[in-house]
Amino acid sequence: MREKEIGDDNGVVLVTGGTGFIASWMIMRLLQRGYTVRTTIRPRSDPVGIRDGNRDVGFLTNLPGASQNLRIFTADLNEPDSFEPAIDGCTGVFHVAHPMDWTGEDPEEVVVQRSIRGTLGILRACLKSRTVRRVIYTSSAAAVMFSGDGKDMADESSWSDVLLFRNSYMAAKTRTERSAIEFAEENGLDLVTVNPSIVVGPFLCPSVPSSVQMAMTMILGNHAQYGILRRANMVHVDDIASAHIFLLNHPDAKGRYICSSDQVSLEELSDFLAVKYPNFRIPTREDLKDVGGHEVCRLSSKKLLSCGFEYKYGLDEMFDDAVRSYRERGLL
């Protein structure tokens, strides 16, 4: 008999942004564990419908157990009240959705405020429900790594400096996580945040996740992105999904948790991929000698591991699973 979990009182949990990479994987794992799952997707009238509004959600509805235990709601982060029907009656909420600036034309402050407004609206709905016992917010290692303090290793005490490093995604994740934590403390809401590094592995969603595309850049020959991987922290998507569920149910979980299992330099990744995939044209160390980019600090998962969580996957599985997903879609 498994240990009593937050979802066990009535077995209902919500995953926001269900068509996304991490969220869809979490839905699959939650269904496998017997949860009744709700998820939200953007309405079809969403102005970014070319990317998401008119999508086929069959990859979710066809998951084992979905016909009985998955219910899909429409909700829009620009209208936080729209999440209330999906949240009402849930005991656990995974807030994974993040508003994306598909065009890259929105000013940073617009992107940040959209993220904060949507997240705080969801947290208010969780309080209003009187049934939600814990919220897990998916932040990012981008909210940790860019503190500018010169440390080689970052832990949960580290916060990115949004004035020193100008990037709208990093600013949105950092300021939204800070705002969410402050709101939760002021209102007595049980909130845990997760800070994943670059998430790699197989994907259920039809489009290639940006993090997987980033990790695969040397296999794909995307020279312009090599610098992003000067020194990269990575984690398998299944480990991320498991960490979220683990933290939902851990009785002593509190605060922030970095989730990152491996770090590799661009040169080390080149050596690794060249041996593993000899049929691909992987750039050599000599090819990479002039690649610039920011060498990010290492990430410590000590806090998560000390709770009893264990990573199941390493670089081998991350890339084997990602390559398989690419091949299944005819992309390699």
Mean of pLDDT values over 294-317 = 94
Tell me which residues are annotated as active site: 173
| pLDDT at residue 277 in the model | 97
Domains along the chain with CATH numbers: 6-328 (3.40.50.720)
Residue 103 has pLDDT above 60, yes or no: no
What pLDDT is attached to residue 184?
98
Q: Note the pLDDT tens digit of each residue in 242-263.
A: 999 999 999 999 999 999 999 9
pLDDT given for residue 95 in this prediction: 98
52-71 mean pLDDT: 85
pLDDT of residue 166: 79
- The pLDDT confidence band at residue 11, using thresholds 50, 70 and 90, is confident
Task: Give pLDDT, residue 53.
Answer: 42
How many angstroms separate the first and last alpha carbons of the chain?
Answer: 43
- DSSP class per residue in 42-100: --TT-TTIIIIIT---HHHHTSTTHHHHEEEEE-BTTBGGGGHHHHTT-SEEEE-----
Owner of token pair 């919500």: 14
Using alpha carbons, list the distances in angstroms from residue 229 to 10, 14, 175, 223: 43, 33, 24, 11
Q: State pLDDT tens for residues 194-232.
A: 999 999 999 999 999 999 999 999 999 999 899 999 999
pLDDT tens column, 132-155: 999 999 999 999 999 878 788 999
296 to 148, 244, 299: CA distances (angstroms): 10, 24, 9
